[in-house]
Chains A and B, each alone.
Chain A
Amino acid sequence: MDIFSIILWPLKWVVELLLVGWHWLLSAAGMDPASGLTWVLSIVGLVIVVRAALIPLFVKQIKNQRRMMEVAPRLKKVQDKYRGKRDQLSQEAMRRETMAIYSETGTNPMASCLPLLVQMPIFFSLFQVLNAAQAGKAGVGPLNSQLAEQFGNAALFGGFAPLHTSFQKAMEATPPQVGVMIVAAVMVVLMTASQFITQLQIMSKNMSEEAKASPMFKQQRIMLYILPFIFLFSGFAFPLGVMFYWLTSNIWTMVQQFIVIRNMPTPGSEAAKKREERLARKGKLVVDEGTAQETVVVVEKQQRQQPMSKSRAKKSGTKPNSGGNSSERK
């Protein structure tokens, strides 16, 4: 065993346990244990468990983000200092100073690397579990050889698209399995599209002006358009089962983002402005949104809103919340 598989071993075990657990549950509910749908739903179940477990991390991040308003003036000062300086050293110094402000004031808005760190190995584990299952090999834990074989061979759409196949394998088969190729291609496109839309949503609506001014944003924009192509190509090697995991995960992210963008947007972002407008139009805050503290903030903002020309609005930029009530509980 190489070091990589030693690290992945416990994760594979958990992935298998969740898969087999959901499969058992669905079978007990009367679904055909060998059908593709049962196994796909087991994968969906796996996504639900993983993403639900990550919700606390996400909530914490949102809370962190909302405290950004408190340090906005200081951040703006740093940005003004480095305005127009595009060389690497200035940029590095700017990031350094920004980070120092965050840690000094305890208002770090970054998500941290943990969610990524958790999800990536799960993705790899599923990939390996599926690859092993395709060969009918037993997994490292709850997925015994019988179940593994069933999983790999479980097929969708009337039995012609087994979960272990990829576009590549269908193409290399003799004769080429055109039907499977079409299914796989559709999956790749769906997966890429959902990834792209989610990313576009975040970048166009839920980023503050400060974040948009950073050089990282430019790089991110370029990647936004390059990545779909990378996915299109690499997706051809992914087994269908892995793509179902990815697609479900993307859909979860999309919905989560939609809720966040609508109800808890990043302060200073376009989505935040939209939300204020929406609330102003209604005249008052809807009860179900947020805590009482939030109500105070929004009402206050509403009172301050005066007719403003577009150019003036632009000039004034993001305003910090004046009231002390804007701070979240610590």
Chain B
Amino acid sequence: MSTLLLLPRNAVVAFLVAYRRIISPLYGDVCRYHPSCSAYALQSVQLHGVLVGSWWTARRLLRCHPWATGGIDDVRPRRRFRYLITPAGFVVAGHQKG
């Protein structure tokens, strides 16, 4: 059941991981923030899901322009995160704590 629920999230994660592997290196380090916009997108989708994660990502992307100061800008942590994140970045149902 949770696999099905996590399907959209993991689809976006797969896309973002591929993007970070293939397209990102083309432009090198350009982001004015840490984590970079794509890392931010990946984390926020992993933690918050497609809808909320996309919202945060869109706002971050709009912040990343040459006139911004930049700097450290972490993804909003999730207080109770029910899932586990695999080393590859995918989100799976966790067994540790409910």
Q: How large is the interface on A (under 10, 10 to 19, 20 to 34, 35 or more residues)?
A: 20 to 34
Q: Which of B6-14, B64-72, B77-85, B90-98 contacts A (4 or more CB under 8 A)?
A: B64-72
Within 8 A of B (CB), among A67-119: 95-96, 98-100, 102-104, 106, 108, 110-117
Closest-CB distance, A218 to chain B (whole angstroms): 10
Instruction: Find out whether the CB atom of A112 lies under 8 angstroms from the CB atom of B64.
Output: yes
CA distance A230 to B23 in the complex (A): 10
Closest-CB distance, A223 to chain B (whole angstroms): 4
Instruction: Find out whether the CB atom of A112 lies under 8 angstroms from the CB atom of B31.
Output: yes
B56 on interface, CB distance cutoff 8 Å: no
CA distance A98 to B36 in the complex (A): 13
Closest-CB distance, B51 to chain A (whole angstroms): 11
Instruction: Find out whether the CB atom of A64 lies under 8 angstroms from the CB atom of B33.
Output: no
CA distance A33 to B70 in the complex (A): 47
Instruction: Find out whether the CB atom of A99 lies under 8 angstroms from the CB atom of B25.
Output: no
SS class, residues of chain B in contact with chain A: loop
* A106 touches which of B26, B29, B30, B69 (Cβ 8 Å): B69
Contact with A along B49-69 (1 / 0, CB 8 A): 000000000000100111111
Instruction: Find out whether the CB atom of A112 lies under 8 angstroms from the CB atom of B69.
Output: no
> Which B residues are in CB contact (< 8 Å) with A114?
64-66
**A to B CB contacts below 8 Å, 24 in the list:** A57-B65, A64-B66, A95-B34, A96-B34, A96-B72, A99-B70, A100-B72, A102-B71, A103-B69, A103-B72, A106-B69, A110-B31, A111-B32, A112-B32, A112-B64, A113-B64, A114-B66, A116-B27, A199-B26, A202-B28, A219-B25, A220-B28, A222-B25, A230-B22
